[in-house]
Amino acid sequence: MLMIDIALASYNGEKYISEQIDSILSSELDASRFALKSIIVSDNRSTDRTADIVTEIAQRHDKVKLTINEKRGVINNFNHALTHSTADYIMLSDQDDIWQHNKILLSMQKLLEMEEAHGKDCPLLVFTDLAITDSRLNTVQPSFFDYMKIKPEGYQLPANIFLSNVAPGCTMIFNRKLLEMAMPVPEQAAMHDWWLILVATTFGKVGHVDQATIFYRQHEGNQVGARRSRYWEMLLRPRAKCRMAKNSLEMAARQALAFKKRFGLIPHSSMGAINFLITFSHLRRLERIRGLVAGKIGYRTFFGNGLLYLLALMLPVSK
């Protein structure tokens, strides 16, 4: 029997965490092939009743495990949860969503198809779409991909995946081989989910399910949510938008440098994008433009690419 662990990172999530855990526990499974081993809740020293609520649930359901993480931050919290996983396959969970009944089933079916094609020794990752909801689970957007203008096939272009992520971690499932390669996620990573898909894209295989499997709850307490840039914001707040784009580019460059230091020998298909991002600020302006065009490096929207080329021309050349 194949076993699945769920790594759930929590912090002050008392309002919704019980609903989320219940949705996972009631998920549809293929009982002849795989089963849920554990829901590992790593709590980041919540100041509300989150840990108490999880403890109460764990007393009723032995699959639910609570562990306390002393290091602050989302990445450290997921790192802590993942170190407690011993299953063949791992899924990530936020504390405030609701999993649809077939999320685990669809994700595992896709991953096992890929495993048959590529073998267990290949790092594998699968992600799905999400339905964006309000705090009461009323659907606001039926497709996260459509709303954020994400082409899920973007993971097939290493140059672009090093610039921006396409998959929220709460939609991911991956095998132990990927976990062993990717862990620990470094502090220089922009986000744990982005790091995981970078490793899978570069050294393994990535697949996706073009179907929403999560109600992605948006509320006032979201640490990371679904928000897209709008054209009029650039007109009203050009300096702020350029500063945000610059910060995003610098974050991608720091992550690329950490990736290069961690793995050393990297396939040529990814190495070009990594080196370009690392050296971007040191290149002359025309070299930046040539690199973007030649490497087909860009964001997923016309607006995003416009900002990228604007930065290439405006940013001073670092010594």
Q: Identify whether residues 125 and 13 lie together within a single domain.
A: yes
Q: Identify whether residues 283 and 185 lie together within a single domain.
A: no
Buried b (16+ CB within 10 A) or exposed e, 255-285: bbebbbebbeebeeebebbbbbbbebbebee
Tally the domains of the chain: 2
Query: How much is the pLDDT for 182?
Result: 98
**pLDDT digit string, tens, across residues 83-122:** 999 999 999 999 999 999 999 999 999 999 999 999 999 9
Name the pLDDT band for 304 (thresholds 50, 70, 90).
confident
User: Rounded to an integer, what distance in angstroms lies between the CA atom of residue 303 and that of residue 241?
Assistant: 11
**Does 19 score more than 70 pLDDT?**
yes
**Does 235 score more than 60 pLDDT?**
no
Q: What is the CATH number of the domain that holds 54?
A: 3.90.550.10
Question: pTM of the full predicted structure?
Answer: 0.92
Domain residues for the domain of 310 are 231-314
Name the pLDDT band for 301 (thresholds 50, 70, 90).
confident
Query: How much is the pLDDT for 25?
Result: 98
Compute the average pLDDT of residues 189-211.
96
Q: Identify whether residues 149 and 179 lie together within a single domain.
A: yes
Which burial class, exposed, middle or buried, applies to 47 when counting CB atoms under 10 A from its CB (0-12, 13-18, 19+)?
A: exposed
Q: Identify whether residues 176 and 236 lie together within a single domain.
A: no
Per the prediction, the chain carries an average pLDDT of: 91
Quick check: is 224 in a domain? no
Domain boundary among 167, 183, 217: 217
Q: Identify whether residues 81 and 199 lie together within a single domain.
A: yes
Q: Which of 23-37, 52-66, 172-186, 266-280 comes out lowest in average pLDDT?
A: 266-280
Quick check: is 125 in a domain? yes
Query: How much is the pLDDT for 229?
Result: 52
Q: Identify whether residues 57 and 11 lie together within a single domain.
A: yes
Domain boundary among 182, 217, 252: 217
**pLDDT digit string, tens, across residues 47-56:** 999 999 999 9
Q: Identify whether residues 13 and 152 lie together within a single domain.
A: yes
Quick check: is 119 in a domain? yes
CA atoms 191, 193, 196, 197: torsion sign: negative
Please name the amino acid found at residue 198: L
Query: How much is the pLDDT for 139?
Result: 96
Compute the average pLDDT of residues 175-200.
97
Q: Identify whether residues 212 and 246 lie together within a single domain.
A: no
Q: Identify whether residues 265 and 306 lie together within a single domain.
A: yes
